[in-house]
C-alpha cells in the first residue's frame, strides 16, 4: 500500500519488499538475460534488418526505465504500517462505494499507488479523481468528486477495510 505526500511515498513493509525484490531482479539477472539476447541477435549479422536485435534493445530500454522508476520510488519511500481499521478511508484500504447512492451499483477497489496494482483487485491511486474524492471520509459518507470531463459524480462509501493482500 502506498500513500504519496510531496516526494515521499509511504509503503507497507510487504510492498517495500516486493518492489525491492523486483528492482534487484531487474538490476541483476534480468540485465544479464537481455545482454545475452542482444549479443545473440548481434551475431546474426546485419542489424538494420534484424527484428530480434531491435526488439531486445526496446525491451532493454523499458527495463532500464523501470529500474530508474523503482530506484527513485524506493529512495523516497518511508516504510510504515497498514492503515488502522477506523472507518476513515485511507490509502491501503479496500473501499466499497455505491454510485449515486444506488446500493446495487457498487465498486470495490484498493486505494493504493499504481506501483502496487495487482490482478486480484482493481486499484485506484489516492491522486485519482475517485481516490481523492473518498480519501479521508468515513464509511456512510456521500461524497462528490470531479470527473476528468469537469462534471461532478456522487458516491456513497459503503465500506473500507485495510487490505490484507
**Domain range holding 149?**
93-162
How many domains does the structure of the chain reveal? 2
Please state, in angstroms and rounded to a whole number, the distance separating the CA atoms of residues 111 and 134. 10
Name the 3-class secondary structure at 102. coil
Q: Are residues 64 and 114 in the same domain?
A: no
Q: Are residues 100 and 64 in the same domain?
A: no
pTM (2 d.p.): 0.56
Residue 104 in domain: yes
Q: How far apart, in whole angstroms, are the C-alpha atoms of residue 128 and residue 51?
A: 38
Q: Is residue 158 part of a domain?
A: yes
**What tens-digit pLDDT sequence spans the chain (165 residues)?**
444 444 556 676 777 888 899 999 999 999 999 999 989 888 887 777 788 888 989 999 999 999 998 888 888 777 766 666 678 888 888 899 998 767 788 899 988 776 666 667 788 888 889 988 999 999 999 999 998 899 999 999 999 988 765
Sequence-ordered list of residues with C-beta below 8 angstroms from that of 7, at least 6 positions apart, any chain: 76
Nearest to 96 by CA among 31, 17, 10, 158: 158
Q: Distance between CA atoms of 19 and 140, rounded to whole angstroms?
A: 34
Residues 73, 109 within the same domain: no
Amino acid at each position: 500500500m502506498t500513500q504519496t505526500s510531496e516526494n515521499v511515498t509511504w509503503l507497507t513493509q510487504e510492498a517495500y519488499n516486493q518492489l525491492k525484490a523486483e528492482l534487484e531482479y531487474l538490476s541483476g539477472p534480468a540485465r544479464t538475460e537481455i545482454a545475452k539476447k542482444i549479443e545473440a541477435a548481434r551475431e546474426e549479422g546485419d542489424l538494420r534488418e534484424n527484428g530480434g536485435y531491435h526488439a531486445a534493445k526496446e525491451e532493454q530500454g523499458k527495463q532500464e526505465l523501470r529500474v530508474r522508476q523503482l530506484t527513485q520510488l524506493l529512495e523516497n519511500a518511508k516504510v510504515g504500517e497498514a492503515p488502522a481499521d477506523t472507518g476513515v478511508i485511507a490509502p491501503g484500504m479496500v473501499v466499497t462505494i455505491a454510485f449515486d447512492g444506488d446500493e446495487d451499483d457498487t465498486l470495490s477497489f484498493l486505494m493504493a499507488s499504481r506501483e502496487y496494482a495487482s490482478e486480484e483487485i482493481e486499484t485506484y491511486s489516492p491522486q485519482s479523481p475517485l481516490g481523492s474524492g473518498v480519501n479521508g471520509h468515513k464509511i456512510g459518507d456521500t461524497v462528490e468528486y470531479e470527473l476528468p470531463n469537469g462534471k461532478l459524480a456522487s458516491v456513497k462509501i459503503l465500506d473500507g477495510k485495510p487490505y490484507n493482500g
